[in-house]
Homo-oligomer: A and B are copies of this chain.
Amino acid sequence: MRASQFLIATQKETPADAEVISHQLMLRAGMIRKLATGLYTWLPMGLRVLRKVENIVREEMNRSGAMEVMMPIVQPAELWEESGRWEQYGAELLRIGDRHGRAFCLGPTHEEVITDLIRNEIKSYKQLPANFYQIQTKFRDEIRPRFGVMRSREFIMKDAYSFHNDQASLQTTYDVMHAAYTRIFTRLGLDFRPVIADTGSIGGSASHEFHVLASSGEDDIAFSDTSDYAANVEMAEALAPAGKRPAATKTIESIATPDAHTIDEVSAFLKVPTSEILKTLIVYSDADEECNKQLIALILRGDHNLNEIKAEKIAGVACPLTFASEEDIQATLNCKPGSIGPVGVNIRIIADRSAAHCADFVCGANKDGFHLSGANWDRDASYTETADLRDVVEGDPSPDGQGSLLIKRGIEVGHIFQLGTKYSEALKATVLNENGKDQTMTMGCYGIGITRVVASAIEQNHDDKGIIWPVSIAPFEIAIVPLNLQKSERVREHAEQLYATLSGLGYDVLLDDRNERPGVKFADMELTGIPHRIVIGDRGLDNGMLEYKNRLESDNQDVAIDGIVDFIQQQLPR
């Protein structure tokens, strides 16, 4: 491609309304432009990247045996009513009416449409398993679209849906998709982790998210420093501390702690580390038959955070987790929330595994303005049971027993999910089994945020000069920058010849033949993140040399004209 015939819409200023680096750089590098809130046009420079991502995803989906289809963006309300989601889905589902007043929506996802298709097309267990995917535009009417294409309203997803006779078959395809996703993100050149994820309210039995690691990510990922283990922080199990609980060495005493209500205040006041203070959170139990709810105490170390998802999964605890009102706490425990502790309390007490391992701890005295120090389990207080109640922290042992946990931030770019029969049951998607009986299909679903992948690649790979593309998705692999092109016939000839040679070898080459100063050209090539740059100038040619620079390196190197093609082929083997 010749730059003179290509829209290079770079900008020097950082746009004021772009909060994250990928949004800033996509605007500055002329990849996208905002049409309206959460709606972006992809310019030629950006679309080249997007198409490369799409192609890698398509190739690996095909290789995995999935079949490409294309379902409409506009979907009829009837199917969503059948699944129950017409009511359940919030305002993110953009509902529309056609000219005849019939109700439709813009598809944020396609479970209903594919399940409707397959219940009509697949009739026999012999036709299963089958896995269908599409690369299609989706729409979610986000209440606060932000971060450019990272969280836009209109976006492109690869979504796949698999259908099975049983769980074992689903597990096989799920593993195939896990492997395909691993190949995809590897080919995309990204540092990523497949992490164990919460299956949330959709139900289903297993789920992995694929995260691109980047400090700007919205999710915390815990992963082993030794093994492949990785999980959302919310999902990672916090193991019980090794060994026996230390023996009690102190006597219990009550200390006045006026104005010290939070853990940090108590820690500062008593000069005790937060890890030696236990905090007590009071939540409700499930309602019994008379609709009465009991109070339950959750005990954690002061330096640990309650993990609500884990707490909700404990039998008898209200789901969603609900904290007790001050009145109910006062009525039962006779004190305010800032002074509660497990000593002498006659309600169900669930101690986090780490909290249950503490000795000589500080805790609330169940008396306003007082805490207890030197408290010990068994001797002074009892818990009903122990459980994993907390988020893991860096340094915790990895739940798979191998190494310790690191925690980094990640951007979710993919999600694979064992749906089970949620949609196939609702839509009565059955096949005839070996005995001629109707059998509900088991389903899996598998998504990749295509547009979001582009932004996440930038979040992970950039410097103060701009984007640093992984070569597999760079808009161009090589930039040829001739200097003084308009005046030097010799420079022009060498540039044209090298452009023709490298293009002929199948490389994506941008020949910067614009009538711009060298500094402008260099800045644009760095901002747009082209991995390899070759500068052709009269001074170098005098010595038979060209100047090569890798976007990842700070220094140039001289390469002989005769050797430049070999050199590039070594850098970019085909």
Please report A residues at the B interface, Cβ cutoff 8 Å.
5-7, 9, 33, 35-36, 39-44, 47-48, 50-51, 65, 67-76, 91-92, 94, 96, 98-99, 102, 104, 106, 113, 116-117, 120-121, 130, 132, 137, 139, 141, 143, 153-154
Query: Which of B9, B39, B98, B99 has a CB less than 8 Å from the CB of A72?
Result: B39
Query: Which of B7, B51, B130, B141 has a CB less than 8 Å from the CB of A121?
Result: B7
Query: Which of B44, B67, B143 has a CB less than 8 Å from the CB of A6?
Result: B67
Give the residue name and chain of the B residue nearest to A75 (CB).
Answer: B35
- Is the pair A76, B42 in contact by a Cβ cutoff of 8 Å? no
Q: How far is the CA of A141 from the CA of B50 in the complex (A)?
A: 29
Known contacts A7-B121, A121-B7: A36-B69 contact under CB 8 Å? no
- Is the pair B139, A74 in contact by a Cβ cutoff of 8 Å? yes
Prevailing SS type, chain A contact patch = mixed
Q: How far is the CA of A559 from the CA of B59 in the complex (A)?
A: 34
- Is the pair A68, B47 in contact by a Cβ cutoff of 8 Å? yes
Query: Which among A41, A116, A130, A137 has the greatest number of chain B C-beta atoms within 10 A?
Result: A41
Give the residue name and chain of the B residue nearest to A36 (CB).
Answer: B76
Query: Which of B42, B43, B96, B154 has a CB less than 8 Å from the CB of A94?
Result: B96
Contact residues in B for A73 (Cβ distance below 8 Å): 73, 137, 139, 154
Q: How far is the CA of A65 from the CA of B69 in the complex (A)?
A: 30
Q: How far is the CA of A6 from the CA of B65 in the complex (A)?
A: 9
Query: Which of B39, B67, B99 has a CB less than 8 Å from the CB of A143?
Result: B99
- Is the pair B7, A71 in contact by a Cβ cutoff of 8 Å? no
Contact residues in B for A76 (Cβ distance below 8 Å): 35-36, 39
Q: How far is the CA of A499 from the CA of B517 in the complex (A)?
A: 56
Known contacts A7-B130, A94-B98, A99-B143: A117-B69 contact under CB 8 Å? no
- Is the pair A50, B72 in contact by a Cβ cutoff of 8 Å? no
Q: How far is the CA of A117 from the CA of B65 in the complex (A)?
A: 40
Give the residue name and chain of the B residue nearest to A71 (CB).
Answer: B41
Contact residues in B for A92 (Cβ distance below 8 Å): 99
CB distance from A29 to the nearest CB of B (A): 13
- Is the pair A65, B113 in contact by a Cβ cutoff of 8 Å? no
Q: How far is the CA of A51 from the CA of B121 in the complex (A)?
A: 22
Query: Which of B41, B94, B121, B137 has a CB less than 8 Å from the CB of A69?
Result: B41
CB distance from A135 to the nearest CB of B (A): 10
CB distance from A223 to the nearest CB of B (A): 35
Query: Which of B7, B70, B71, B116 has a CB less than 8 Å from the CB of A67?
Result: B7
Contact residues in B for A9 (Cβ distance below 8 Å): 121
Enumerate 18 A-B pairs (CB-CB under 8 Å) in ascending A order.
A5-B65, A7-B121, A7-B132, A9-B121, A33-B117, A35-B71, A39-B72, A41-B70, A41-B113, A42-B69, A72-B154, A73-B139, A73-B154, A74-B154, A94-B98, A98-B141, A98-B153, A99-B141
- Is the pair A33, B137 in contact by a Cβ cutoff of 8 Å? no
Q: How far is the CA of A47 from the CA of B66 in the complex (A)?
A: 13
CB distance from A298 to the nearest CB of B (A): 36
Contact residues in B for A116 (Cβ distance below 8 Å): 35
Contact residues in B for A51 (Cβ distance below 8 Å): 68
Q: A36-B75, A72-B154 are in contact. List 13 more A-B contacts (CB 8 A).
A: A5-B65, A35-B117, A36-B72, A42-B69, A42-B71, A47-B70, A48-B68, A73-B139, A74-B154, A92-B99, A94-B99, A96-B96, A137-B137
Contact residues in B for A6 (Cβ distance below 8 Å): 67
- Is the pair A69, B91 in contact by a Cβ cutoff of 8 Å? no
Give the residue name and chain of the B residue nearest to A35 (CB).
Answer: B72
- Is the pair B153, A74 in contact by a Cβ cutoff of 8 Å? yes
- Is the pair A67, B39 in contact by a Cβ cutoff of 8 Å? no
Give the residue name and chain of the B residue nearest to A153 (CB).
Answer: B74
Q: How far is the CA of A96 from the CA of B106 in the complex (A)?
A: 10
Query: Which of B40, B69, B74, B130 has a CB less than 8 Å from the CB of A106?
Result: B74
Q: How far is the CA of A72 from the CA of B91 in the complex (A)?
A: 20
Known contacts A44-B67, A68-B47, A137-B137: A39-B121 contact under CB 8 Å? no
CB distance from A563 to the nearest CB of B (A): 31
CB distance from A443 to the nearest CB of B (A): 16
Contact residues in B for A74 (Cβ distance below 8 Å): 36, 39, 106, 139, 153-154
CB distance from A449 to the nearest CB of B (A): 16
- Is the pair B141, A41 in contact by a Cβ cutoff of 8 Å? no
Known contacts A7-B130, A47-B68: A91-B96 contact under CB 8 Å? no
CB distance from A408 to the nearest CB of B (A): 32
Query: Which among A6, A102, A117 has the greatest number of chain B C-beta atoms within 10 A?
Result: A117
Query: Which of B41, B42, B91 has a CB less than 8 Å from the CB of A99?
Result: B91
Contact residues in B for A104 (Cβ distance below 8 Å): 36
Q: How far is the CA of A306 from the CA of B290 in the complex (A)?
A: 85
CB distance from A101 to the nearest CB of B (A): 11
Which 4 A-B residue pairs are closest in the complex by CB-CB distance?
A42-B70, A44-B67, A36-B76, A39-B72
CB distance from A58 to the nearest CB of B (A): 9
Contact residues in B for A47 (Cβ distance below 8 Å): 68-70
